[in-house]
Amino acid sequence: MKIEIRTVGDVNVLDISGKITLGEGTMTVRNTVRDILKDKGNKILLNLGDVNYIDSSGIGELVSTYTTVTNSGGQLKLLNLTKKIHELLQITKLLTVFQVFEDERAAIASFE
């Protein structure tokens, strides 16, 4: 799994590729987001377009990350869900928790 960080305005865009699974994948997401929060970045957009697999631990990490960012006064939003991830979030009713976007410009504009 790889994460590349881009900054667009004051929004940190995390381009994630590979698998978000128990172990290295979930730790990488957690540590990257914590580092951004430490650097006073609190607007985070997770681009999941190149994530080819996510397990239950990966879903749990998304929820945990969302909670961490929200409790820090920040916002976390999701971009470019694959069909499979969209279905998983729908089944688990997490689509009601996350703001999800298909268009990066619209997603960035939605941050306050």
Q: Tens of pLDDT along 25-83?
A: 999 999 999 999 999 999 999 999 999 999 999 999 999 999 999 999 999 999 999 99
Helices in the chain by DSSP H: which ranges? 24-38, 56-71, 83-91, 104-110
What integer is the mean pLDDT of 5-25?
96
94 three-state secondary structure:
helix
pLDDT for 83:
95
Could you say which of 1.10.510.10, 3.30.750.24, 3.30.230.10, 3.40.640.10 is the CATH number of the domain covering 2-105?
3.30.750.24
Spacing of C-alpha 78 from chain mean position: 5
Q: 10 with 43: CB under 8 angstroms?
A: yes
pLDDT for 112:
84
Show me where the domains of the chain are located. 2-105
